[in-house]
Every structure is written in structure tokens, then in C-alpha cells.
Copies of this chain bind each other. A is one copy, B any other.
């Protein structure tokens, strides 16, 4: 598979996270010659939070994780498999998850409910838990780095995705590192398919959950490749506590200001990498919406532009066809006043107050369209609502990849 032209030059150098152990294995279930299983283990005192797809047809592993995290029983491991989503598999699907988590729990000496599971791949195929179970022993005792972990969870992705940074919590340095996978079926409401972020910070589970939900809105929920939402989308944030920072009062504790910014940085980096691996993508598009009634309205307008096939194909064709942006704003259902609408591309004001500017010169915009990074800015009106959405263009590559992925 050809690597996306928008891919980073290399997988980044990433730190080990104290208290978090990674290991990978090759089940041979769908892929040959590569690992397709990942086990992430957390030291005993750590905690895990997660956000999941809003799909009505959520997969069995998502149901399992929601149940376990909802029960508040704590979690200390996440098993991941790539190639079979275990989605729309009925009671048999949940039985397979249970068998897997019981099997891993036996190896780790913990309760089955402390093991979470995440799956990605084809929908509707029964998952044969025995194929995975044959590797639980080696997973429980193995060790891998972030790059190997990132590679083991890929499906149609063309490159492994990782990001990391550091932050200070009350004078103690902590590490944040994460990996993600996904390049199609990427849309609003948990857009990553799968992402796993780990930190050695000591943060109680409710704080972790609040930080994750907040950062997700500005990262994985602000990207789209094709408007399709997976049955398996999940983002996990695990904190080992190994850094030994002082206790925090809550998610709003000012001691977490730096950590919140660092978490944003890592999650937005991963989210952008997913867009850069968007199926068939040749252009990375940033859509900035300002002047909306509120942030939610701005988000909706940005997503309407980002999901418009006509906008995305115009960008693919390097066509400064801004009229399609007008169309996409109009169809968003936000109830805007078009006499206040303004549009810029590549920093060039094209239209203002509901019509094209008198002296509009397309040449600089046409030049901008030839680049790899396309900037679209929409000023909706006089409101204070803003949003920033990342997406990619829609090309022949998307069609080629998706017209025969499964067969």
C-alpha cells in the first residue's frame, strides 16, 4: 500500500510511560506477516477513562467496555485486535469478548472486568476468540515499544500514528504518549476508530474522564474524512500514577492547566495524523469558522463544509470553487443570515457581507489551491462562536480503496 503523501516523514521518538507495558502479537486472523494484536497493561494503582462511538450499532467490545467502566470496577489492561471489528455479531460477539477478557485476566491475575477490549476491522464477521487466545500468554509476558504498538492496530492505514509530549503538574514532570489508527469511516462523534493515550501522571478516574471528554471535542470530534461513523470508535486515556505528582482537586484544578494543554497537543496531533492518512487524501484542509451564534453552531457549519463531497472534490481538483462552500454553509441548517456571510481561502478574502468582493482576484487563491495545506475560513456573522475542523480532499484514491476493501 502506498503511504499517504501527507504522512509525516517518520514515526516520532516516543518515551516509555512508567507503569504502562505494551506488547504485540500476530494472530494471523486476517493479516499475514504483521502483528495484529496489542495488549496494554497498567500498573495496579492506575486508572483508565474512555469515550466511545455514539453509533446505535456499537460493537460488542464497546458494549463491554461501557459496562465495565460504568461499573467503576477499575481497569488495568486493554486488549486490541485488528482485522475483525466484532460488530453486529449478536450474543456470540459478546461471548467472544467475555472469553477474551477472561483469558487475559487469568494471565494477568486480575478480574475479567478489569480487562477492556477494542476491535477494528470488518463488521459482521464472527470473531473466533480461540485464535486470539492462543497469544494471550506471550502478550502477557511480552514487551514492545510505541511504534510496534501503533503498527499492530492498523487496518487500511498507510502509516503508524504516534505523538507525545511532557507537562508539569505542580512541579512534577509527567509524560503523555499516544497512538491512533483510522483513515476511513471517520466522522463526527468519536472519529478516530481507535486511540490510546497513556500518561504516568497520577489522576483519579473521574478527573481522567473529564479531561478526556473535553480534549476529545477539540481533537477527534473535530475531524472527518468521509462523514461515516464507525461502530467501534473508542479513545482511551490511561494514567499509571508512576510520576508521583501531588493529588489534584478535580479536572478544573489550575495545577492541571499545563497538562490539559499537553493533552490537547497530543490528541490533536493524532487527530491530524488520521486526517493526513484519510483514504486517498492528497490535501489537508483546515476549516476555521468564526462569528457563529455559539461554538456548537460553528462546529456544525464547519462539519457541513468538511463533509461536503462537492467541496472536497473541488479541493482535490485544485479548483477555487468557493461557491460550493456557500452551498455547504447554506445546507448546514444553522439558520444563518447570508447577508453577513464572508469566505476566505488561503488568507484571501473572497466574499463578504453576502457577495463576492468587488476586486476579487482569483490568482493567489488558485496558487494556494495547488499546495498540500488548504485553509478555508468562514465568518458567519457577529456572534462569538468558533470552531476549527480538519479534513482532507475526496479523490479517486478514496474510491479505489473503498470499492474493494473487503472482497
Contacts and interface: CB of A to CB of B under 8 A. Distances in A.
Interface of A: 53-58, 85, 87-93, 122-126, 184-185, 187, 189, 226-231, 307-310, 313-314, 316-317, 319, 321-324, 326-339, 341, 351, 353-356, 394-396, 398-400, 402-407
A227 B339 CA distance: 24
Contacts of A92: 355
Contact of A310 (B54, B185, B323): B185
A354 to B, nearest CB: 5
Contacts of A355: 88-93, 124
A333 B402 CA distance: 24
A307 B399 contact: no
B90 A353 contact: yes
A396 B399 CA distance: 6
A406 B57 contact: no
Given A124-B351, A355-B88, A230 B56 contact: no
Contacts of A322: 124
A326 B123 contact: yes
Given A90-B355, A126-B356, A355-B92, A317 B56 contact: no
A61 to B, nearest CB: 14
Nearest to A307: B227
A326 B57 contact: yes
A399 to B, nearest CB: 5
A14 to B, nearest CB: 31
A56 B403 contact: no
- Nearest 10 A-B pairs (CB), nearest first? A123-B323, A317-B403, A90-B355, A57-B330, A55-B330, A313-B402, A229-B331, A124-B323, A88-B326, A226-B309
A375 to B, nearest CB: 19
Residue among A316, A322, A341, A406 with max Cβ neighbours from chain B (10 Å)? A406
B402 A317 contact: yes
Contacts of A187: 331
Contacts of A126: 356
Nearest to A312: B402
Contacts of A307: 227
8 contacts: A56-B332, A187-B331, A227-B227, A228-B308, A228-B328, A313-B402, A316-B399, A321-B405
Contacts of A91: 355
A314 B87 contact: no
Contacts of A88: 323, 326, 338, 341, 351, 354-356
A354 B398 CA distance: 29
Contacts of A229: 327, 330-331
A226 B10 CA distance: 36
Contact of A57 (B124, B329, B403, B407): B329
B403 A316 contact: yes
Given A228-B331, A330-B58, A399-B396, A319 B406 contact: yes
Nearest to A399: B396
Nearest to A356: B124
